[in-house]
Amino acid sequence: MLTVDPYIPLALWFPLLLAVLAAIVAYAFVLRKRATKSARRGIVTLMSLAAALPMIMLLNPTWVKELPPPAGKPLLTILVDRSASMATTEGEQTRYRQAVQVANEVADDLESRFELRVRAFDGGSDTIELEQFDGQNLDADATNLATAIEDSLDERPQGQAILLLSDGIHNAGGGANRVRASVEKARAMAAPIYTQTIGGQANVDDLEVSLALPQEMAFAGQTLPVEVTLRQRGRLTDRVTVSLVLDGETIEEQEVALQPDGTAEATLEVQQADAGLYRFEVKVSEHPNEVTTLNNSTTLLVRVVDEPVRVLVLEGKPYWDSKFLLRMLASDQAIDLTSIVRVGDDRFIRREIHNTSAASANTAGEETDTAEGDATATTREQTWDVLDSVDPLFADPDWLDGFQVVVLGRDAEVYLNDNRIEQVKRWLAEEGGAMVCMRGPPASVLSERLGGLMPVRWSPATEQRFRVELTESGQGMAWLPATGGGLQSLPSLATMAHPESPKPLAVVLASAAGSSSATEPVITYQPIGSGRVVVVEGAGMWRWAFLPVEHQDRDDVYGHLWRSLVRWLVSSTGLLPNETRAVRSDKVTFDPTERATATLLVRETQAGEPLEVELSGDALDQPQRFPTSPAGDTPGQFRVVFGQLPEGRYQAKVVGSPGDESGATTAFDVKGNLSERLSIAARPDMMRMIAQGSGGEVIEPGDRAALAAKLQQQLEDNFPTRVERVPAWDRWWVLVCVLGVWAVSWGFRRRAGLV
């Protein structure tokens, strides 16, 4: 078939044709006196033909040839979920049996028109035969829809589709975004996914205990409140007992009222007089009818130190934000606080708050708030003075080394010239310090050196107000409040600088509500050597500590967040003042399917020593030793990989460390993923997103007869008839004809004496 596809618009081609015809008519008129009638007729005919051929080529005549379809039948992959949640019985059958029944019926209907492939999946996926359905184990602790979809995509140019039979639960890493990326890949490969949701809104009966912070740090003798969240699924009981246990001995018990399908909070108190690592267990009473008792207890690691964390706050001018932050930090006995606030030109107020014993405070004539007769109790002592300049402080190259955390407010450029920025950079990289920018950019104009330390870049903008929500990474961080979803209900923050996309190594923990974390970061951090830099966007967070009556239930979020942030920074970077080495597990609880890892920090003077970490636990026959490897180019920082471990409780210790060096010991648990047993409500919304995002459809139960027609129509719509297009210019004989006509026309005119 021959078609045209003009190189130029027809609105231009027709005037050009008229111009060519007019030129030929004019030339024929001129030839009346120069050539005979027969010669004129021949010349005009040949010139008309020579001009017509290029005009025809401008229309781009193209030969269209239909290609034969690919050999074989189109491919249909049937994906059947075999995870633990599919063992849920609804009606007379389990979800898995319902899915197998649908798969067999579809196979019987479509095997004559499609090439069928059957795959079963849970955390992974593999190809099976229809006869192997009965031999599948439904005990997997995770469902990974993303991996199942990607493993099913065949590298075919066309002619494939997927039928997904699942309850729609995805509890593997990456969340819904990971599934969405796999769906987009399927759409790009023209592989529509048809989904049928198996199961309904089933629930289980269960009691669960969890901690806002599974890792805590306290000063020796300090009373540490531990926030415990209790959750009841179903209607098991109206009251439960929560207890705090250490080394098999119950330290404290509380009775808590609990509503059906509700949550309740309790506060337990921990106090230890001696420094060390203490492994507590928080338990909730068991009920004989609950689905599992594995989540009736959880581990609390408390590292008690006898030297507090030293925090330095540098503020360019007094702000409400810094006032409330200083008040909160000053109330924490685990923190020695130094603040420097610029109140005028060449005038700085330095305030120091640290721990002291009641006996020494009374000797000095100071008032204390300790109990009468407790002469050894710890109290807080405060001193302040006025400085004309901070130059003498920074002149000492080791001054910053006395702090573990530095908090920068706004207008902090007065403290950070180029030389001091180099000091800060060395302190971060070599000493493992942590720097926190509490209200976005620490200076109105960031120098190149200071900007290089920041995890994000900023651009000027008009004032914007926003609320905060956690990203997926933020929800997994231990220092953020357990009620992170409630951050959106807190007062909004304001910013005059728009944070742009974070840098490659940066991690976004919170974003502006309703936006993606990649474009509107609110809390971001990035590593600098063995240290970290954290940026908290927005002014006005002080209002979180001064909430109106309707938000009094969240009155502790502000203090909780900042105290947890300081502890997270200190526990994950750098060594405490009295530590020569420290090992820290990267998580308190690992999954059996992931590698358990830890970080080992040593003083630089000891970094050359060969180091090993000994792992012991109730699931190991005997302690095992693991080598360490350098963590990049950072001196004194090492990584240890324990690998995948069976479920149990473990303790890791640096080989050769003194028994009283608490930092050289850490502990962690390995527990299976309970999501498959507890969150068993089907997710038709997830299945709908998969179908619509890939170009497929949702198949309702009982609509099996129409499935074949839908698949066939989908394949026809997505894969139209293939054709081959060959333009006339690509044919050699066309070019020869054009050149031949031009040559004959020129020769005829020359013979007539016109050239």
Which residues have C-beta within 8 Å of that of residue 441, sequence separation ≥ 6?
Answer: 410, 454, 458, 497, 535
C-alpha 284/C-alpha 207 separation (Å) is 8
Q: What string of DSSP letters covers 322-391?
A: HHHHHHHHHT-TTEEEEEEEEEETTEEEEEEEEEEEHHHHHHTT----SPTT-TT-EEEEEEEEEES-SH
Burial tier of 196 (Cβ tally within 10 Å: 0-12, 13-18, 19+): buried
Q: What string of DSSP letters covers 247-299?
A: TTEEEEEEEEE--TT-EEEEEEEE--SS-EEEEEEEEE---TTSS-STTSEEE
Which amino acid does the sequence have at 492? S
Phi, psi of 245 (to 5 degrees): -125, 135
Asked, colleague to colleague, whether 75-202+680-718 and 581-670 share their fold, the answer is no
C-alpha 423/C-alpha 394 separation (Å) is 8
Q: Per DSSP, what are the bridge partners of residue 725?
A: 64
pLDDT along the chain (755 residues), means of 10: 82 88 84 77 82 83 74 82 88 88 86 86 89 83 90 76 91 82 90 90 87 79 84 90 92 92 90 86 91 87 83 90 89 87 90 71 44 51 90 88 90 87 87 88 86 88 83 64 61 83 84 62 86 88 77 72 80 64 83 85 62 89 90 75 90 81 82 81 92 88 68 61 75 81 81 71
Stated pTM of the model: 0.60
Radius of gyration (C-alpha) of the chain in whole angstroms: 37
Element (DSSP H or E) covering residue 357: strand 347-357
C-alpha 701/C-alpha 706 separation (Å) is 11
Q: Domain ranges in the chain?
A: 2-67+723-751, 75-202+680-718, 208-305, 309-366+376-572, 581-670
Sheet containing strand 297-305, edge to edge, reads: 215-219, 297-305, 276-284, 239-246, 249-257
Q: What string of DSSP letters covers 643-664?
A: ES--SEEEEEEETT--TT-GGG
Which amino acid does the sequence have at 61? P
pLDDT at residue number 366: 45
CATH superfamily of the 208-305 domain: Immunoglobulins (2.60.40.10)
Q: Which CATH number fits domain 75-202+680-718: 3.40.50.410, 2.60.120.560, 3.40.50.80, 3.30.300.160?
A: 3.40.50.410
Other CB atoms within a 10 A radius of the CB of residue 104 amount to: 14
Beta strand 531-536 with 434-437 is parallel
Which amino acid does the sequence have at 317? K
Identify the CA nearest to 1 among candidates 62, 69, 68, 67.
Answer: 62
Three-state secondary structure call for residue 631: coil
Structure tokens at 710: 């839908």
Identify the CA nearest to 166 among candidates 93, 90, 80, 98.
Answer: 80
| Fold (topology level) of 581-670 | Immunoglobulin-like (2.60.40)
DSSP state, 404? Answer: S
Q: Which CATH number fits domain 309-366+376-572: 3.10.20.90, 1.25.40.80, 3.40.50.880, 3.30.428.10?
A: 3.40.50.880
CA 580 to each of CA 28, 398, 584: distance values in angstroms, whole numbers, following the listed order: 105, 18, 13
